[in-house]
Amino acid sequence: MEILTYIFVFFFGLIVGSFLNCVIYRLEEGKSFLKGRSFCPDCKHTLSWQDLIPLLSFLILKGKCRYCKKPISWQYPLVELATGILFILILNFSTRPGGVILFVVSCFLIVIFVYDLKHYIIPDKIIYPAIAIALIFNFQFSIFNQFSIFNYSIFSAFGAAAFFLAIVLVSRGKWMGVGDIKLAFLMGLILGFPNILAALFLAFLIGAIIGVGLIVSQKKTLKSEVPFGPFLVTGTFIALFWGENIINWYLNFFNGL
């Protein structure tokens, strides 16, 4: 029964990932993702059901549109696969009440990851609803815990946002954008303390490693703009699943020195 649950959640994640791809594309085009059938971005041909099977359609069609034979972006199968895997991780690792909220918020984070990576901007249409949902969940859950968890999350959210606000002000917007401040606030609401510290540390560490790699490979220069949202989202997911283990390892490591 447990295996069947994981299989169901994974395939449900694939379906949700397919929907998230639709959301991302229609955000880019300024269109509603609640109306209209899916179509090929190149030839605009309306897609039939056999073209929309998550992962499988991409493999069967060998990564090309059935109608115009133009290549299908790897974004589509990767987002579907990533969503399926994340849903399993949330099911497997999260012992925090309100798991359904984590599934929902993870969808917002996936859209932010891809959209910021492609367009260097975190859309308000995504970040504000995500913050509202996280706030409502924390407030409702805290009622049964004398507001302690809500306070931790609020302090973490404002602390992380203030940290990024300081960076934006010092650099005059050259190092970070306002969207990163909003995303940091959302991260604090999701993770609380001390996991927010692990998420921020991981985001900067991963960003530095990839940034150095891009410079060494001459794909970027020191003056090139690199979106930081994907690193923040990555740090959030790692801290969500393994934050406590990372913090404990870090503390034990330094206590042993």
The predicted structure's pLDDT at residue 256: 67
- Angle, vertex CA 226, rays to CA 198 and CA 223, nearest 5: 120
Amino acid in position 179: G
The predicted structure's pLDDT at residue 65: 87
**Phi-psi region at 146: left, alpha or beta (left = phi > 0; alpha = psi -120 to 50):** left
- Look at residue 151 and give its three-state secondary structure: helix
Residue from 183, 225, 229 nearest 206 by CA: 229
d(CA 185, CA 156): 8
Each residue's pLDDT tens digit, 204-255: 999 999 988 988 887 887 677 889 999 999 999 999 999 888 888 888 877 7
Question: What is the 8-class DSSP label of residue 35?
Answer: S
Each residue's pLDDT tens digit, 51-67: 888 999 989 988 898 88
SS3 content of the chain, % helix, strand, coil (to 5): 70, 0, 25
